[in-house]
Chain A
């Protein structure tokens, strides 16, 4: 049935017809939803160069984005980062997750990546005083994100 004839029949019958214009009968379509969640950057500026505890970092990871958040801090080029400040985020994340605050040797990393979870795009560096036998506390310093 042509569209015109279809319309004429619908009009003659007084039908409210939703079939015009007719799509080709051999076509098929469907949709998918696209989504993105925008989060505000975490306020880590105040932490720059200041040692923070594992608990602080845990709170930062779990903190929701909100009005207290601030701007991103420019990334420090890894080549110019002092050795002691070179980040090992995966290691930090693992340390935080396991809450192992003592006795972890520092292995310098060439660069930094984002922490594994949480809305805060924070990257931290860590150091541990060499006390031997895991006696020294783990010190985590937020350097950049």
Chain B
């Protein structure tokens, strides 16, 4: 039997070439689909923040008289006006101890603090003096106009000191006056 080979026509050649091109393109796409990249996913778990009261705030004994008693954040007392400060009872600033993780920063809020001290019937206006430090030694701040709104932990610890300016009246009734300072902290 004799084998007869037909010479491909021009159309047949073109179809064959096109098929080869298509196959080649498909092969290239297969190579590109194998490419890849990675991204790292991280999460930092922070210990819950905590704040505890280390000490209360005490203006001590104050003699009735027009004036303002300033209790610095280090507990130092000064006064203006005719009020007087007997030295029998020392003043003391409040201290709050903050704990958390590492050296993160945190916000400080004083919402809920009283603006007056009261004996139940009469009051005295008070303006708090605040500062946040990484040391247990206060600086003696006496400026009540700028509150410490942020703090920074140092190895997981920070300290908030609160003093105040107390306005005493000329006929301020003799009594013991009390109020509350509230501090709320949260990670930034």
Please name the residue on chain A nearest to B114 by beta carbon: A34
B87 to chain A, nearest CB (A): 5
Main SS of the interface on chain A? loop
Q: Which of A34, A37, A117, A121 has the most CB of B within 10 A?
A: A34
Contact, CB under 8 Å: A117 / B87? yes
Main SS of the interface on chain B? strand
Contact, CB under 8 Å: B183 / A30? yes
With an 8 Å Cβ cutoff, the count of chain A residues facing the other chain is 29
B14 to chain A, nearest CB (A): 66
B72 to chain A, nearest CB (A): 14
Bound Cα distance A38, B89 (Å)? 12
Q: Hey, which chain B residues are within 8 Å of A32, CB to CB?
A: 53, 55-57, 94, 96, 162, 180-181, 183
Q: Hey, which chain A residues are within 8 Å of B185, CB to CB?
A: 27-29
A27 to chain B, nearest CB (A): 4
Known contacts A26-B187, A28-B184: does B87 contact A35 (CB below 8 Å)?
Answer: no
Known contacts A35-B59, A65-B174: does B182 contact A29 (CB below 8 Å)?
Answer: yes
Complex A-B: 7 CB contacts under 8 Å: A27-B49, A35-B58, A36-B177, A37-B61, A113-B87, A119-B61, A121-B86
